[in-house]
Structure 1
Amino acid sequence: MHLQPVFKNVPYYGGTVAEELFENGLCSPSGSNLTEDDKVRIATIVKKVFKQHI
């Protein structure tokens, strides 16, 4: 979280693992307010991206 602009002035204590995950990870929409249609749309897009890289 320390790499997000809102936290740019907050002290950070740690190594580089979080930075590597931030650079290489997937930040997907989440939350309790996602509708079933939202979830289907997100899953469809993720599956499409992975199929392109196989």
Structure 2
Amino acid sequence: RPLWKPMHLQPVFADSPYYGSNISELLFEKGLCLPSGSNLTPENLTKVIQAIKNAVKH
């Protein structure tokens, strides 16, 4: 899943001033949120690793 949308891009903050750089936007556009819960099973971890390897190949 993608990373969370930066606060300054959320409609509720459309009229609020923004002070910062475009790092959060870059992370939102290009970042990836990986599963990391404490209940992640070895099987799930293997599945995630394989999906990343497959994505990098293509």
Question: Normalised by the shorter chain, which TM-score bucket?
Answer: 0.5 to 0.7
Question: Unaligned stretches of 5+ in structure 2?
Answer: none
Question: Unaligned stretches of 5+ in structure 1?
Answer: none
1:11-51 C-alpha deviation (Å, 9 max, x unpaired):
77532101101110111111111000000000001000101
- The total of aligned residue pairs comes to 49
**CA RMSD of the aligned region, Å?**
2.4
- Aligned residues with identical type, % of pairs: 39
User: Normalising by the residue count of structure 2, what TM-score does the alignment of the two structures yield?
Assistant: 0.64
User: Normalising by the residue count of structure 1, what TM-score does the alignment of the two structures yield?
Assistant: 0.68
